Structure 1
Amino acid sequence: MLIHPLVTDSDILADLCSRLAQSPYVAVDTEFMRENSYWPELCLIQIADDNEAAAIDPKAPGIDMTPLLDLMVNNEDVLKVFHAGGQDLEIVHNLTGKTPFPLFDTQIAAMALGMGEQVGYSNLVESWTGVKLDKGARFTDWARRPLDKRQIDYAIGDVTYLVKIFPKLLDKLKRTGRGAWLDQEMERLGDPSNYVNEPDQAWHRVKVPSRRADVLGRLKALAAWREREAQGKDLPRGRIMKDETLADIASHPPREQKDLAKVRGLSQSWAGNDIGARLMGALEAATNLPDDEMPAREDRKPGLGKDGALVADLLKLLLKIRAKETDVAPRLIARSDDLELLAAGRRDGLSILEGWRYEQFGRDALDLVEGRMGFAVQNGKLKMTRLDEAAE
C-alpha cells in the first residue's frame, strides 16, 4: 500500500479524492480536540483504500477540503468505513450539514459477531491481524503544528489496518447471515438528527428532580440560553455553567440579578456583568413547559409494579441466554428500556418485536411475558422451555 506524505495542498487532495472515488469502499478516521471548545476542532483526517492511504491536514493554509467532503456526503457509490464513528460523523455533519452515506461501523459489526459491546480499535486489530498497536501517540496534541512523523504514522495506522479488517468482517457477516442485522443500526448511526445541537432541546440533557411545569419551563429556557452562549463563544457548555448550577437556578430562581452572587457555582461578578443580565433575561422570558412536552416519568415503566419488575429481570436473563447462544453482544439485540416496556405491557414500537431481533429474541421474549415459556434446569444448565411442550 502506498502511504502518502501529509497532504497539505488542494490539488494533491483533489487528485487523491478523484482516485478514491473509484474505490468500492474507503476507511476513514479523524483526530480532533474538543477539551476547550464547543465545536470539536478538526485536526487531521485519515483515509485509505486497498491501494493508498493518506493523512490530510485541514489546518494547512489555503487547503480546499471540498473534494474530500463531497466524497464523504455526496458520493453514494463509495462505502465509508469507520470504527466507533459517532464523533467522526458529528464532525462531518458540523462541516456539511450531512452525514457520510453509505457507511459501515466496524465496532457495531464486531457486536454482531460476538466480540463484545464496545470493542476498542486496538483490540479489533489484534484479534484480526495479530498486530499490537503502539498507543503512545493516542493522547497527543493534534492541534499543534508541525505534526511529527510518529503522530502521522500513528494516525494513518488507524485506516491502513481498518481497510484490511473490513473485508474480513464483511465476509464473516455474510457467512453467518448477519449482514442485514446491521442495516437498522447503520441507519440510526447515520441519522443527521443525532448530530444537531438544537438549543431548545438542550434541557433534555440536564437532570432535575422536579416535574413541575414552571421548573421545567425555566430549565428549558436556561439550557437554551447556555447552549447559545456556548455556541457563540465556542466554549464547552460546562464552562458557561455547570449542569448542577443550571438545575439549581431552574428550581430556585433568583429574584434579581444581584442574587446571582449567592448562587453556588457562580462567581460574584455575575451579579453585575452582561452574561448575568442575559441569564436573568432568559429566566424572565421562561414560560411553563406545555403538557405535550412534559417528559415521561423517569422509570418509563407505567404500571410495571413489583411483579412486572420481576418479569423484566427474567427478560434480562433470557437476553443473556440468547446472546450467548447466538454469540451476539446483548446490547445489539435489546436495551434495558425495551425489556422493561415489554414487561409493562407495551407492544408497539419496540425494535425487539421487529425483523431479525424478533426472530432471534423477541418471539421468545413475548412468549415469556405472556406465559407460554418458562425457565428450566436440565443437566445442570439453565434452559428455556415452552410450557405446552413441558405439559406433554
Structure 2
Amino acid sequence: MHVHSLITDSATLANLCSRWSQADFIAVDTEFMRESTYWPELCLIQVADTEEAAAIDPMAPGLDLTPLLELLTNNEDVLKVFHAGGQDIEIVYNLTGKTPHPLFDTQVAAMALGQGEQIGYSNLVDSWLGIQIDKGARFTDWSRRPLDQRQVDYAVGDVTHLARIFPRMLERLRKTGRGQWLDQEMERLADPANYANDPDVAWKRVRINSRKADVLGRLKAIARWRELEARGKDLPRGRIVKDETLADLASHPPKRQGDLAKVRGLSPTWAGNEIGARLMAAIAAAGPLPESEMPPREDRKPGLGKDGALVADLLKLLLKIRARDIDVAPRLLARSDELELLAAGQRHGLSILEGWRYDQFGHDALDLVEGRLGFAVKGGKLKMTRTEEETAA
C-alpha cells in the first residue's frame, strides 16, 4: 500500500478523492480535540483503501475539504468503514448536516463474531493481524502544528490496519451468514437524528430525582439555555454550568438574580452580569413540562410487577445462555428494556420478535414467558429445556 505524505493542498486531495471514489470501500478515522470547546476541533482525517492511504490536514491554510466530504456523504457506491465511529460520524455531520453512508463499523461487526460488546481498536488489530500498536502518540495534542512524522505514521496506521481487517471480517461474516444481522445496526448508526444535538431535548441528559412537571419544565428551559450559551461561546457545557448545578437550579429556582451568588457551582459575578440575567430569564419563562414529554418511571415499567421483574431476570439469563451458545455479544441480540417490555406482556414493536433476532433469540424468549421453555442443569451446564407440554405438542 502506498502511503502519501501529509496532504495539505486542495489539488492533491481532489485527485486522491477521485481515485477513492472508484474503490469498493474506504477506511476512515479522525483525530480531534474537544476538551476545551463545544464543537470538536477536527485536527486530522485519515483515509485508506486497499491501494493507498493518507492523512489529511484540515487545519492547512486554504485546504478545500469539499471533495472528501462529498465522497463521505454523497457517494453511495463506496462503503465507509469505521471503528467505533460515533464521534467521527458526528464530526462529519457537524460539517455537512449529513452522515457518511453507507457505512460499516468494525466494533459493531465484532459483536456478531463473538469479540465482545465494545472491543477496542488495539485489541481488534491484535486479534485479526497479530500486531501490537504503539500507543505512544495516543494522547498527543493533535491541534499543535507542525505534526511530526511519528504522529502522522501513528494516525495513518489506524486506517491502513482497518483496510486490511475489513475484508477478512466481511469474509467471516459471509461464512457464518451473519452479515445481514448488522444491516439494521449500521443504518441506526448512520441515522442523522443521532447527531442532531437538539437543544430542546438536552435536558434528558441531566440526571434529576424529581418527576414534578414544574421542575422538569425548568430543567428543560435552562438546559436549552446552557446548550445555546455553550454553542455561542464554543465552550463545553460543563464550563457554562455543570449538570448537578442545573438540577439544583431546576429544583430550587432563585427568586432574583442576586440570589445566584449563593448557588453552589456558579460564579458570584452572575448575580449582576448579562449571563446571569439570561439564566434568570430562562427560569422565568419556563412552564411545566407537558404530560406528553414526561419520562417513563424507571421503577414502574408498564405492567411489570414483582413477578414480571422475575420474568425479566429469567429473560436476561436466557439471553446470556443464547449469546454464549451462538458466540455473539448479548447486546446485539437484545436490549434490557425490550426484555422488560416482553416480560410485561408487550408483543408488538419489539425488534427481538422480528427477523433474525426472532430466529436466534426472540422465539425462545417468547416461549419462556409463555411457559413453553425452562432451564435445566445438564453436565454441570445451564441449558434451555422444552416443557412437557411443548414436547407433547
TM class by smaller structure? over 0.9
Partner of 1:144: 144
Deviation for aligned residue 1:390: 5.7
CA distance in 1, matches of 2:26, 2:40: 23
Note if contact 1:27-1:159 (Cα within 8 Å) is conserved in structure 2.
yes
**Aligned residue in 1 for 2:256:** 256
CA deviation string 1:181-216 (max 9, x = no partner): 000000110000000111111011111111111111
* Stretches of structure 2 lacking an aligned partner (at least 5 in a row): none
Matched with 2:200 is 200
Root-mean-square deviation (CA), in Å? Answer: 1.0
Which runs of at least 4 in structure 1 moved beyond 4 Å after TM superposition?
389-392
State the distance in 1 between where 2:267 and 2:178 align. Answer: 55
1:266 has 2:266 as partner: yes
In the alignment, the residues of structure 2 paired with residue 169 and residue 299 of structure 1 have an alpha-carbon distance, to the nearest angstrom, of: 41
**Conserved in 2, the CA contact under 8 Å of 1:300 and 1:341?**
no
Q: Which amino acid aligns with 2:117?
A: E
Do structure 1's residue 177 and structure 2's residue 177 form an aligned pair? yes
Q: Which amino acid aligns with 2:174?
A: K
* 1:300, distance to aligned residue in structure 2 (A): 5.8
1:280 counterpart residue number: 280
Shift of residue 299 of structure 1? 3.4
Counterpart Cα distance in 2 of 1:47 and 1:383: 46
Partner secondary structure for residue 128 of structure 2: helix
Normalised by the length of structure 1, the TM-score is 0.98
Report SS of the residue matched to 1:217. helix
How many Å separate the matches in 2 of 1:202 and 1:356?
34
Q: Is the Cα contact below 8 Å between 1:128 and 1:165 reproduced in 2?
A: yes
Displacement after TM superposition at 1:127 (Å): 0.7
Specify whether residues 55 and 209 from structure 1 end up closer, same or farther in structure 2 by C-alpha distance, changes over 3 A only: same
**1:45 alignment partner, SS class:** strand
8 Å CA contact 1:304, 1:343 repeated in 2: yes
SS at structure 2 position matched to 1:304: coil
Whether 1:90 and 2:106 are equivalent positions in the alignment is no
- With 294-303 and 112-121 compared, the bigger mean Cα shift is at 294-303
Provide the residue aligned with 1:186 in structure 2.
186
**Could you tell me which residue of structure 2 aligns to residue 338 of structure 1?**
338
Deviation of residue 80 (structure 1)?
0.3
Alignment partner, residue 102 of structure 2? 102
Structure 1: runs of 5+ lacking an equivalent? none
- C-alpha separation between the residues in 2 aligned to 1:207 and 1:358? 34
User: Aligned-pair distance for 1:303?
Assistant: 2.5
Counterparts of 1:123-138 in structure 2, within 5 Å, are 123-138=123-138
Residues paired across the two proteins, number:
392
How much does 1:351 deviate? 1.1
- Is 1:33 the counterpart of 2:33? The answer is yes
TM-score of the aligned structures, taking structure 2 as reference length? 0.98
Deviates more, 1:99-108 or 1:301-310: 301-310
Could you say which residue in structure 1 is the equivalent of 2:58? 58
- CA–CA distance in structure 1, aligned partners of residues 211 and 390 of structure 2: 48
Distance 1:379 1:325 in 2: 15
Q: Which residues of 2 match residues 271-310 of structure 1 at below 5 A?
A: 271-299=271-299, 301-310=301-310
Q: Contact 1:374/1:385 (CA < 8 Å) preserved in 2?
A: yes
Q: CA deviation at 1:257?
A: 0.2
Q: Letter of the aligned partner of 2:274 in structure 1? A: D
Q: Deviations over 1:94-151 (max 9, x none)?
A: 0000000000000001000001110111111111111111011011000000001110
Partner residue, 1:313: 313
Tell me if 1:49 matches 2:71. no
CA–CA separation in structure 2 for the residues paired with 1:315 and 1:184: 23
Partner SS for 1:26: strand
Distance, in Å, in 2 between the alignment partners of 1:258 and 1:336 is 46
* Offset, 1:382: 1.3
Whether the 8 Å contact between 1:78 and 1:102 is mirrored in structure 2 is yes
Q: Deviations over 1:301-350 (max 9, x none)?
A: 22212111111111111001100111000011111111111111122221
Corresponding residue for 1:213?
Answer: 213
Aligned to 1:385: 385
